[in-house]
Amino acid sequence: MASIIRKDEAHKMIDRLPPNATWDDLMREIYVREVIERGLADSEAGRTRDVKEVRAEYGLPE
């Protein structure tokens, strides 16, 4: 579920971009923020797995 963004937060995000930023730059910032928020929500809800467990599942070294 997408989180609701406050306008002042959106303005701050845009203000942090360099003057020559593109729409792609803005979309990347929005995407990164959303991914971080989802990850934090998953962590708080206990929906995470240990790195060793995931590596073992894919046959990767620890």
Which pLDDT score, from 0 to 100, does residue 2 have? 65
Structure token digits, residue 43:
């962590």
Which pLDDT score, from 0 to 100, does residue 42 have? 96
pTM of the model: 0.72
Q: Which residue, among 37, 28, 42, has the nearest Cα to 5 in the 3D structure?
A: 37
Which pLDDT score, from 0 to 100, does residue 33 have? 93
Which pLDDT score, from 0 to 100, does residue 1 have? 57
Residue 11: half-sphere exposure toward Cβ, Cα within 13 Å:
3
**Would you give per-residue pLDDT tens digits along the chain (62 residues)?**
567 878 999 999 999 999 999 999 999 999 999 999 999 999 999 999 999 999 999 999 98
User: Which residue's entry shows tokens 């989802």?
Assistant: 38
